[in-house]
Amino acid sequence: MIHLKNYQEEAVNDLTKNLYKLLKRPGARQNLIFKAPTGSGKTVMMASLLNKFCEELPERYELEKRKAAFIWIAPNKLYIQSYNAMKGFFAEMRSIKPIFFEDVSSDELLPNEVLFVNWESINKEKNTMIKENETNKNLYSFITKAKLNDTEIIVIIDEEHMFANTKTAKRANEVLQKIYPKVEIRVSATPTTNSDYRTLVERQDVIAEEMIKEGIILNPALDTIQQQGRSLEEILIEQALAKKEELREAYENLGVKINPLLLIQLPNDKDEGNSVDDLKYIDVVLQNLEYNYNITVSNNKLAVWLSGRKDNVADIEKPDNMVEVLLFKQAIALGWDCPRAGVLLIFRELKSTTFTIQTVGRILRMPEQKHYPNPLLNQGYVFTNLSKNQIEVVKDDMSYITMNKARRIENYIPVHLDSTYINTRIARNRLGAKFRMALYEIAELNWEVKRELGKENFFETNKQLLKKRFINTDINTIEIVIPENLPLTGEEEVVGVKEKVKFAKTPGELARLFRNFCRSLTAPYAAVDSTPVLEGAMKYFFEDYFGINEWDAIKIMLYDENLPIFIELIEKAKERYQEMQEEKANKATKDIQNYKWEVPFERIYNELYDEKEHVEKHALKPFYEYKRASSPEVRFTAYLEEQKENLHWWYKNGEKAKEHFAVPYEDYLGKQSLFYVDFVLLNKAGITCLFDTKTAGSDPANAHLKHNALIDFIAERNEKGHKTIGGILIPKENSGTTTWWYCKNKITHTKDTKGWDRFDPALLITN
């Protein structure tokens, strides 16, 4: 059961009111800003909002849609913390169902489901969660199907400020535009987005409810300390530990069982690896803590959370945990909740003059959500090696996310086109027994290895082929190093940096690490069912082709320099397995969906498109042109603008998505496919024109098949009274003038355009 503080209840009510207002507004991607300080219970308030909203929504008859699903996007591993918190909140109540990507059922987001997503898993087109695949099972397809079932999509952007830096803002906008939610709830202590719809939690209200400390004291009483030849680092460690001990005694005097924690943060917090500066401070801190205070990892008083190292971090958040000091970097600050932390020591190089609200927020929470009679316990304490006039607590000051968004013109006249979508989804979304066959096939094809049973020395022959691919199989000389997914800052320059840890030596650790490695490579297949299949296939591969036992095989695969080669092999094997599944699926009836199509109300264009000025008749404004558009496409676009007086509008169609217009056809292999016609036009005579621009003889295998399918489609429209023309459109040059030609009948090729008709919008009107 969720119990709210007064300010939390007010915030939830205000959020609910604003959310309903935005749902009533036309269009999509409406922004609702939720600003709340660290420690105020943002997740609790969001959980209460979702619960309240989903219980009320079915009765809100003034809304067009009364079902909603949610996508919760968070940087780094914060999405896991939020998921676990939501699971706890809704363990008894069934109004909300928190899920991960692999938990999506029926290939769509269902009403009242909250899909928790890691930003790094969707911020690149190649990421398996969003990339197009033949199964049509990705995040965007789930969303599309939910929308078709009248389910509103609402996105929750956790720690919104992390998505707004200059390097990630554009990509974040592209992802959100593809999701195209009705509402975006942007949650942060320091939001960067502007909106008229804002819910604000005041810091003073949170303090008044005794959820967070009253304030922070920076470098208390340092002017009374005698240096006595000691370094500043030594003095700061001494004073921070003294303050921690002072807090411990204050808790003890009140009979409260809380062991206060000192956090020591290293400099260079935007670099996940351990720099030279980091190593210097690590040595200083570890030696000082051990020799002067007997605080070490071995006696469980010291915890370390660094690149490639985690010691004593389990259960460190518990009030009476015996760890006294945690040495960490910036990565742990985001979303980490340890209310017993009361003192923060921040080491900085002189060139760094700031630290962020998110870092300081780690010591603001009250461990029992109440203030104490001893005012010492109601303050946070920060020590730093920077002088007061150099210190600045800042937020991420990023500009508003810009959008390459185009909207449909107000005087748009509909064309009432019938479009087709082929769902090639394969029912079983897991790796099956045939995956090993696919793996062997790819390995033999790409690596030239052979499984020659009964032939002497074929193991050694295959091992030599591995060496030719620079795969190190000499396990006696390999120091195993594997990547470990530690939390990151969320900045783009950090996301791609992989941390390294030394390979575990025990069989149990080897098995765990290899299982995690395989699990990370199962997508887009369900990880639970597919991980053991992938594990077994790789182990059998080494045994069948090289005679190498599983433990040595694991070491070879997880060796740092070998990793990319085996990842590539697995990815290609998954592609081959997918082909095998499709070959099987092609024998069955495909899911062919027909639906009414119009130019979309809004469309987003990514960085592969440039905005073009002086384009007046495109159905979406502004007009964005693909940077690599073919010459016929570019020239025909210019021609259409020359003919603008004869057109109501024209539209450059997209590809490979349900929002784009498509005509079904059989390709040269006899496979059911879709023809995404380049241009859709409506002239002043009310004639719909469907043209696909090509050069004579281009796309020889399929051009005529696409054209003929389009001719049949046009004939059916004309029979229904929708006057339509179209087909493959070929340009002809004559004395510097370009004319455009199409055929009203079926063709066998596009090389010879004899007998074709010239396309001229003006002639269509006069005729």
Ranges under pLDDT 50 in the chain: 269-272, 333, 350-354, 387-403, 425-427, 476-505
Residue pair 69/153 in contact by the 8 Å Cβ criterion: yes
DSSP-H helix ranges across 587-725: 631-642, 703-719
Place of tokens 């320059």: 493
Choose which CATH entry (3.40.50.880, 3.40.50.10810, 2.60.120.480, 3.40.50.720) describes domain 6-208.
Answer: 3.40.50.10810
| CA 641 to chain CA centroid, nearest Å | 38
Q: Are 442 and 572 in contact (CB under 8 A)?
A: yes
The pLDDT score that the predictor gives to residue 699 is: 87
Spatial distance between the Cα atoms of 765 and 767, rounded to a whole number of angstroms: 5
| C-alpha 661, offset from chain centre | 27
Helices (H), 115-162: 139-148
> Would you state the pLDDT for residue 626?
86
Q: Phi and psi (nearest 5°) for 168?
A: -110, -10
Between CA 3 and CA 363 the distance in angstroms is: 23
User: Would you say the C-alpha torsion 94, 96, 102, 105 has a positive or negative sign?
Assistant: positive
* β-pairing verdict for 113-118 and 302-306: unpaired
Q: Which amino acid is at 530?
A: S
**Torsion angles phi and psi, residue 313, rounded to 5:** -90, -15
Write out pLDDT tens, residues 48-77. 999 999 999 999 999 989 999 999 998 877
Position 570 scores a pLDDT of 92
Helix (H, G, I), strand (E, B) or coil at 571: helix
Taking the C-alpha atoms of residue 312 and residue 298, their distance in angstroms, rounded to an integer, is 9
Domain ranges of the chain: 6-208, 215-394, 405-424+592-766, 434-486+493-586
Identify the pLDDT of residue 398.
Answer: 24
Q: Which residues does residue 354 pair with via DSSP β-bridges, in sequence order?
A: 392
- Measured CA angle at 212 (ends 211, 215), to 5 deg: 150
Cα–Cα distances (Å) from 31 to 151, 228, 408, 554, 642, in that order, read: 18, 57, 20, 48, 39
Give the N- to C-terminal CA distance of the chain in Å, as an integer: 72
Indicate the residue type of 74.
Answer: A
User: Amino acid identity, residue 646?
Assistant: N
Structural tokens at position 534: 């992938």
Tokens 């030609």 belong to which residue? 741
Q: To the nearest 10°, the Cα dihedral for 359, 360, 364, 367?
A: 50
- Predicted pLDDT at 730: 94
Identify the residue whose tokens are 């260079």. 268
Between CA 260 and CA 269, with CA 264 as vertex, the angle to 5 degrees is 140
Domain 215-394 grouped into CATH 3.40.50: yes
What's CA 487's distance to the chain center, in Å? 15
Query: CA–CA separation, 440 vs 539, rounded Å?
Result: 12
**Pair 247, 260: CB distance under 8 Å:** yes
Neighbour tally for 464: CB within 10 Å:
12
List of E strands, 233-378: 261-265, 302-306, 309-311, 325-328, 341-346, 354-356
Between CA 561 and CA 565 the distance in angstroms is 8
* pTM over the 0.75 mark: no
What pLDDT does 505 receive? 44
CA separation (Å) from 177 to 136, 146, 312? 19, 16, 42
Residue 77 to residue 82: CA distance in whole angstroms? 9
Contact between 554 and 482 under an 8 Å Cβ cutoff? The reply is no
CB 557 within 8 A of CB 549: no
CA distance 412 to 109: 31
What is the rounded distance in angstroms from the CA atom of residue 689 to the CA atom of residue 761? Answer: 9
The whole-angstrom separation of Cα 560 and Cα 500 is 9
Q: List, in order, residues 6 or more apart from 342 with CB less than 8 Å away.
A: 243, 244, 247, 260, 261, 262, 363, 377, 380, 381
Q: Which residues contact 252 (CB under 8 A, 6 or more apart)?
A: none
Topology agreement, domain 6-208 and domain 215-394: yes
Distance, in Å, from the CA atom of 436 to the CA atom of 62, rounded to the nearest integer, reads 55
3-state helix, strand, coil in the chain (%, to 5): 35, 20, 40
The pLDDT, as a whole number, for residue 406 is 83
How far is the C-alpha of 267 from the C-alpha of 278, rounded, in Å? 7
Yes or no: say if 184 and 155 are a contact pair by the CB < 8 Å rule: yes
Tens digit of pLDDT for each residue in 479-515? Answer: 333 222 222 222 222 222 233 323 334 565 567 678 8
Q: What is the dihedral of CA 692, 695, 697, 700, to 10 degrees?
A: -40
The span from the CA of 237 to the CA of 345, in Å, is 8
In 3D space, the residue among 498, 507, 520, 529 whose CA is nearest the CA of residue 570 turns out to be 520
Q: Return the DSSP state at 365.
A: B
Q: Are 43 and 88 in contact (CB under 8 A)?
A: no
CB atoms within 10 A of CB 216: 16
